[in-house]
Amino acid sequence: MSRLMDLEDQIARAERLQRSITDAVTIERLRQFAAECRREAERLSHHRHAA
């Protein structure tokens, strides 16, 4: 699995999990994690298109 695919999978998992829990602190951490993964995925995607 490529790093980009791995990041997309992690984003999807974090978003599914945050919808299924009620703990506000954990939800916020999952949102932050998903946002970090999105930023890295975007960097990888731009890097691939530039190459």
Q: What is the pLDDT of residues 1-51, one digit of tens each?
A: 699 999 999 999 999 999 999 999 999 999 999 999 999 999 998 887 776
Contact 17/31 with Cβ under 8 angstroms?
Answer: no
pLDDT at 1: 66
pLDDT at 47: 80
Task: Report the distance separating Cα 31 and Cα 26, nearest Å.
Answer: 9
> Hey, CA dihedral for 37, 40, 46, 47, is it positive or negative?
negative
Token pair of 39, please?
A: 């930023």
Token pair of 15, please?
A: 């978003």
pLDDT at 49: 74
How is residue 22 annotated by DSSP? -
Q: Reduced to 3 DSSP states, what percent helix, strand and coil does the chain have, rounded to the nearest 5?
A: 90, 0, 10
